Amino acid sequence: MTHIQKLKAQLEKFDIKDLREGDKILGMEISRDKSTSRFWLSQEKYVLKMLEKFNMAEVRPVTTPLAGHFRLSSTLYPNSQEKKIEISRVPYAIPAGSLVYAMIYTRPDLAYALSTVSRFMSNPDKTHWETVK
């Protein structure tokens, strides 16, 4: 507490408010166990909202973010104008970016999968989209 009081004294020259303990920050919920001095961050509501936004609320969860059967490469790029038009209607970058936000704060297990699908942001194919989903 002495460190906190010292910091507050140093910050007095700025126009700030002490809102005490928070239970939410940047869309993340904060849970605390004071007896063990531990806290947890959760983005469950953010992820559920994201799933609803992309009409995927009823999807079945997987245990591995990028299963071994997904083989992504640049050879999968759309090779016809028809396929390019079809995939251009898919909001590929938006859900991938939303997942990156979750990965940064609470889901580091998604890092490899997202780095893989992010390679194809400029020219995704249907297989790439299925991998993001």
pLDDT band at 33 (very low <50, low <70, confident <90, very high): very high
> pLDDT, tens digit, for every residue of 61-83?
878 777 666 677 666 666 677 77
* Average confidence score pLDDT of the chain: 84
Residue 33, strand partner residues: 38
pLDDT band at 26 (very low <50, low <70, confident <90, very high): confident
